[in-house]
Amino acid sequence: MWSDEARMLSDEVWQRMPRDIEIDVEENKESAEANIELDDWIAKAVGRGERRPTIRVWRHADVQGLVVSRRDVAGDAGQRAMQVMRDRGWSVFVRPTGGTAVPHGRGVLNLSLLLPRTREKATTDDYYRLLCGSLIAWLSSLGLKAATGEMPGSYCDGNYNVIVDGKKLVGTAQAWRGGLAGTASRHPGYVLAHACVMIDVDLAAALSAINTFYVEVGNPYRVDPATSTTLVERLRAHGIAEAFTAEQAQRSLADFLHRYYESLGITVHRQSHPELTARDGEPDRQE
């Protein structure tokens, strides 16, 4: 039913996924900062045991910009670069995970695994595999073959890019916070594993803005627009769909993950969202 690569995750890796989860499409359309910070807020509640481990499927606020790590904007040069970019029409937002800059906008879909830290030995690779495995399976259901790997020259490059047709479609990042979850610690811990999927974005403009930002920071890091792609481009290239909005992708991924996790014996709870109940406009699934 799902792609071979997603099914090849070891039992040890699957044990990192809690047996009772919530799929959440909550998002803040008014404040880009609050929307990004919502991951951290939910994850802290997960760590304290106040809510179920959460899979959040969300879109950015409708603001053109870049999302960067705290390290990117540290110091006077980073603060000046943020102002220069704002003056040029590109707001800069700071995320809790590491890595380099990624595009921000309504055409970007995000997948966040917000899971409690547990006593079992685990690695960042385990959580990246859980994150990417589900996305590879989703893309397979849409008719696209994907894999993970490095993509030198791409934005926020790493070992766990999701690549389709030799181009980067998804960037990933991860952060671990606090101690063990559910303890008496003031900071019970959580794992935030995050993926950023380019659905329908002007990548040429966005990646040019990333390069401009790093020029202003004084960092030699640069990206090559030829290394990356969007979901709309890949679907069109394979004759699957001419148009696929980020809202349709959000609905499609949330529905898919519900079926995917239930097929693995995981109990799934869904937060209702009246704007995401219709199924019109989705590409035909190929499960």
Annotated catalytic residues are 156
The full DSSP string for 78-128 is: HHHHHHHHHHTT-EEEE-SS-SS-EEESTTEEEEEEEEE--SS---HHHHH
Alpha carbon separation from 278 to 9, 62, 235, 248, 282 (Å, rounded): 32, 21, 21, 9, 10
Phi/psi of residue 204, each to 5°? -60, -45
The answer to whether 211 touches 84, Cβ cutoff 8 Å, is no
What's the residue count for the chain? Answer: 287
Q: How is the chain split among helix, strand and coil, in percent rounded to 5?
A: 35, 25, 40
Q: Which residue type does 143 have?
A: G
Instruction: Answer whether 58's CB lies under 8 Å from 105's CB.
Output: no
